[in-house]
Amino acid sequence: MKTTTIPSIFLLTFIVFSACMRQDRYLVETDYSYRADFRKYKSFCMANNMQLDGDSSMNNPIIEREIKNRLELHGYKMTQKKPSLLVFHKIYYKDFKFQGYNQPEINKENWIPKEDLDEEEGYDPVKYSLKEGTLLIQLVDTKRDITIWQGYASGVFDEKALNNERFLRRAVRSIFDKYGFFADGFLVNERGNN
């Protein structure tokens, strides 16, 4: 009796543990422009994404609210008047190829903008095969009209997950966990308020 009970308990534990584990190990990557001066951005605005042919992949209030929360935690102010950054997001429902870049992680301590670089100089392109259910978030410099940062999480959504607020929020957070900057003056102001 003991010999069958121990393997049975082990097997049952393994099955329960496996069932509890979600497929949260998805690809999360970011790319950035070497020419962006991340120290100068202070505000943002969500892009007014148009729905084309019933495409709701660019309009999701849960995703927009979580992006807003994440950027505000980094000290950015949401404004409709002359924002520094315009924020776009889109969910891709099918597998696709995407060109990203192999770049070192960035943060406020090691960032020096490289204004004198050519458009393609210094970039090491990487082709990704992104899975269905990819969330892409882009930050665009409104003065220069260039994408300065983009983050993407591949294979995170299926039809059930698109209605699960916690799951959507987690996907946005996983992307912004790789965004290492704060709004211009935010940390100085926060230290002064304490």
25-193: which CATH topology? Double Stranded RNA Binding Domain (3.30.160)
On whether the pTM is more than 0.85, the answer is no
pLDDT at 75 over 90: yes
> Would you kindly state where each structural domain of the chain is located, as residue ranges?
25-193
- Nearest CA among 28, 29, 41, 27 for reference residue 146: 41
pLDDT at 93 over 80: yes
What percent of the chain is modeled with pLDDT above 90?
Answer: 30
- Nearest CA among 65, 71, 64 for reference residue 179: 71
Segment among 127-131, 155-159, 166-170, 181-185 with least mean pLDDT: 155-159
DSSP track, 111-154: ----TTS-SSTT--EEEEEEPSSEEEEEEEETTTTEEEEEEEEE
Segment among 70-79, 115-124, 162-171 with least mean pLDDT: 115-124
Instruction: Please report, for the chain, how many H helices and E strands are present, in that order.
Output: 4, 8
Most confident of the following: 19-23, 110-114, 135-139: 135-139
- Residue linked to tokens 């003991």: 2
What does the pLDDT average to over 48-59? 59
What does the pLDDT average to over 128-138? 86
Checking 167-175 for CB contacts under 8 A at 24+ apart, the result is 168/60, 168/62, 168/63, 168/66, 169/62, 169/66, 170/24, 171/63, 171/135, 172/63, 172/66, 172/67, 172/70, 172/135, 172/137, 173/66, 173/70, 174/26, 174/28, 175/28, 175/30, 175/135, 175/137, 175/151
More confident residue, 59 or 10: 59
pLDDT at 122 over 60: yes
pLDDT of residue 35: 82
Q: Is the dihedral of CA 60, 65, 66, 67 positive or negative?
A: positive
